[in-house]
Structure 1
Amino acid sequence: MLVDRSASSCLVVREVSAPTPGVNEALVRVASVSLTLDEIESAVQSAPDGAQLGHDFAGVVETAAKDGSGPATGARVLGLVRTGALKERVAVSTNALATIPDKVGFSYAAALPTSGLTALRTLGQAGGLLTAKRVLITASSDHVGLIAVQLARASGACVSAAVPSREHEVLLEDYGADHVIVGDLAGASEFGPYDIILHKNVDSPLETAANLLRPGGVCVLRSVSVPRSVPTGVLDLIAARRGRLRGFSLTASLRREPAAEALNRLSILVATRSITPHVEVEASWTAVALAVKQMRRRDHLGRCVLHL
């Protein structure tokens, strides 16, 4: 699927050159791809014509990697690519592939990679065991937040989830949050102070979050450089509490540590129902325009899964 602004939906299905796998790459026949509404609208608004969509996918290995690494031919797999997952076949490094357990379908598998890896590794930035720790997740109403709530709860933490509106409250409770804070983040003080705070970015009320941190606690920012983009006042506040402020970038994380092992862990957690990806909309990839309309009408907290 390509961006084409001459089309009514700005997205079209067209033939492209077949991928040629490298020695450490498997050729995967794609069954399902997941996207967020932001991914789709960003591509439509700013990507050049001809740009391909998609990072997260699930499918079947058509040809195993020549170097013998990774899943065998015929294996059901999930994984991620830098771009262009939304096509019939993709060549993927075996470092970014994991086998799908029998109990997990393609929809959940495709919805897992980017959100699951971000949630898992963001929590990992806090270090150590989560058992009995108080964890606050301030962007709980996006898919990364929903997965993070479940991972923290499954690890034995007492989880508080902050959401912007009451319509998300029941969903977060269903996903395992012990406490749900609606609207003003200051309301989270009732259940704090917190050992760990996962915060989305510096544009949201970071100073309020920092005030909720327990002495010696950790605040992790998703997709934010620390300390370059953080206000000095917030850094001083956290330092006064002997706390730590850390940033996280999935791109940088994948350069340091390949995704395969973490994807395997996450898929097992889905198979055992410890976590459940939130699939908001499912459709054929030829009906992407209709799927986008459905996402816009809903809260689009989860992923849009397109089936090939």
Structure 2
Amino acid sequence: MQAALAGRYGPPETLRIAEIPTPEPRAHEVLVRVVATPVTAGDARIRAGRFPRGFGLPARLALGLRGPRRRVLGAVCSGVIERTGSAVDRFAPGDAVVGMTGGRMGAHAEYAVIDAERLVPKPVALSHDAAAAALFGGTTALYFLRDRVGLHTGQRLLVNGASGSVGSAAVQLGRALGAEVTAVTSGRNRELATELGAAEVIDYTTTPIVEWGGDSDVVFDAVGTITRSSGQRLLAPGGALVLAVASLADTIRARGRVFAGPAPERAADFELLLDLVARGRFDPVVRTLDGLDAIPEAHRIVDSGRKIGNLVVRLAE
């Protein structure tokens, strides 16, 4: 099969498309023919070796000192099952599925092996592109807003980085949970943020963070430009701060009403998000590129800082 292979940590040009052996599923796994897979900010960070402050050495020890040990990146895909392991009885070849691969990655290839517990059926009403786009940002926003913060009706939510994958999901899920949402993004994305449910939009290019005001019940930073100290100045008394992209120091000090760290990948959350998309209540904001050889270009778009929503590469029909 063909796959996009990461080399030494570096720019998108370090990626190359090459032929590698097709993996074989173990007992509890399935082999998925990948139809669509997103290229996320997480993929770009791993490819470049560009990690939040303080995480450089721990991340390289875990992922690889000079480049990713797992050379095929990609943690989300939507596709069709080719083969199942001997212990898998809830799926069969030909089933359309969506899921996340976790630390194993491997989705930026024609085929990926995934634990069956990390997969859910793709709703018939959804395209593979939309299904693949829904999970990365959606699971992060859902976990922090619903499970950690307990966001509820009448609260005021400030989302910093509201036009990206995680931020656009936070705007929509925050609104669905009953909050009044203020979106922080560039002026060119004002209309998008409003369409997604923001009651107010702040253009960070013209309004410094110190002028944003300190009356939010929840501040959700999706891009890593707010720290524990600066974020707390934006909160109303008793408010909660979510640092979805936090430094090592802020992650260690996250306690009380400050939340950071990874979001779990749970099949029940996948099903909820996909149902919301199918019912028109959650827009994953998809831009699609065609072909495996578009993955380096997708990384360049992510690196530009101008990616809107989710960037999905379609590998097959």
TM-score (ref. length: structure 2): 0.79
Contact conserved, 2:96 with 2:121, CA < 8 A, in 1?
A: yes
Deviation, 1:296, is 6.5
Contact conserved, 2:44 with 2:302, CA < 8 A, in 1?
A: no
Hey, what does 1:185 align to over in structure 2? 209
Amino acid at match of 2:279: T
Hey, what does 1:246 align to over in structure 2? 259
Among candidates 135, 139, 154, match of residue 132 of structure 1: 154
Which shifted more, 9-18 or 55-64? 9-18
- In the aligned structure 2, how far is the partner of 1:230 from the partner of 1:93? 29
Among candidates 37, 57, 61, match of residue 81 of structure 2: 61
| Structure with more contact order per residue of length (Cα contacts < 8 Å, sep ≥ 6) | 2
Residue 196 of structure 1 pairs with residue 218 of structure 2: yes
Among candidates 254, 267, 289, match of residue 260 of structure 1: 267
SS of residue matched to 1:111? helix
The structure-2 alpha-carbon separation of the partners of 1:218 and 1:24, relative to structure 1 and needing over 3 Å to count, comes to: same
Deviation, 1:140, is 1.6
Deviations 1:117-161 (A, max 9, x none): 111112134443522211111222321001110111122211111
Contact conserved, 1:69 with 1:94, CA < 8 A, in 2?
A: no
Hey, what does 2:37 align to over in structure 1? 33
Residue 75 of structure 1 pairs with residue 95 of structure 2: yes
Which shifted more, 45-54 or 26-35? 45-54
Hey, what does 1:113 align to over in structure 2? 135
The structure-2 alpha-carbon separation of the partners of 1:18 and 1:196, relative to structure 1 and needing over 3 Å to count, comes to: same
Amino acid at match of 2:86: K
- In the aligned structure 2, how far is the partner of 1:195 from the partner of 1:80? 31
The structure-2 alpha-carbon separation of the partners of 1:54 and 1:181, relative to structure 1 and needing over 3 Å to count, comes to: same
Residue 284 of structure 1 pairs with residue 284 of structure 2: no
Deviation, 1:277, is 1.0
- In the aligned structure 1, how far is the partner of 2:236 from the partner of 2:243? 16
Amino acid at match of 1:268: D
Hey, what does 1:216 align to over in structure 2? 238
Hey, what does 2:23 align to over in structure 1? 19
Deviation, 1:95, is 2.1
How many residues are paired up? 288
SS of residue matched to 2:34? strand
Among candidates 106, 109, 112, match of residue 90 of structure 1: 112
Structure 1 segment 162-181 matched on structure 2, within 5 A: 162-163=184-185, 165-181=186-202
Deviation, 1:185, is 2.7
Contact conserved, 1:37 with 1:295, CA < 8 A, in 2?
A: yes
Deviation, 1:115, is 1.5
Contact conserved, 2:287 with 2:309, CA < 8 A, in 1?
A: yes
Contact conserved, 2:28 with 2:116, CA < 8 A, in 1?
A: yes
Deviation, 1:3, is 2.9
- In the aligned structure 2, how far is the partner of 1:299 from the partner of 1:24? 39
Which shifted more, 58-67 or 109-118? 58-67
Contact conserved, 1:26 with 1:65, CA < 8 A, in 2?
A: yes
Contact conserved, 2:217 with 2:236, CA < 8 A, in 1?
A: yes
- In the aligned structure 1, how far is the partner of 2:39 from the partner of 2:150? 32
Deviation, 1:182, is 1.4
Deviations 1:225-270 (A, max 9, x none): 78x43799xx9xx9xxxx72122313xx34xxxx211111111011
- In the aligned structure 1, how far is the partner of 2:224 from the partner of 2:40? 22
Aligned-residue RMSD, C-alpha = 3.0
Deviation, 1:209, is 2.7
The structure-2 alpha-carbon separation of the partners of 1:3 and 1:159, relative to structure 1 and needing over 3 Å to count, comes to: same
Contact conserved, 2:81 with 2:93, CA < 8 A, in 1?
A: yes
Deviation, 1:100, is 1.3
Residue 300 of structure 1 pairs with residue 304 of structure 2: no
- In the aligned structure 1, how far is the partner of 2:242 from the partner of 2:304? 31
Amino acid at match of 1:3: A
Among candidates 164, 168, 171, match of residue 142 of structure 1: 164
Deviations 1:5-26 (A, max 9, x none): 8xx9433332222222122212
Residue segments in structure 2 that go unaligned for 5+ positions in a row: 50-65
SS of residue matched to 2:294? helix
Deviations 1:55-83 (A, max 9, x none): 11110122344334543432211111131
TM-score (ref. length: structure 1): 0.81
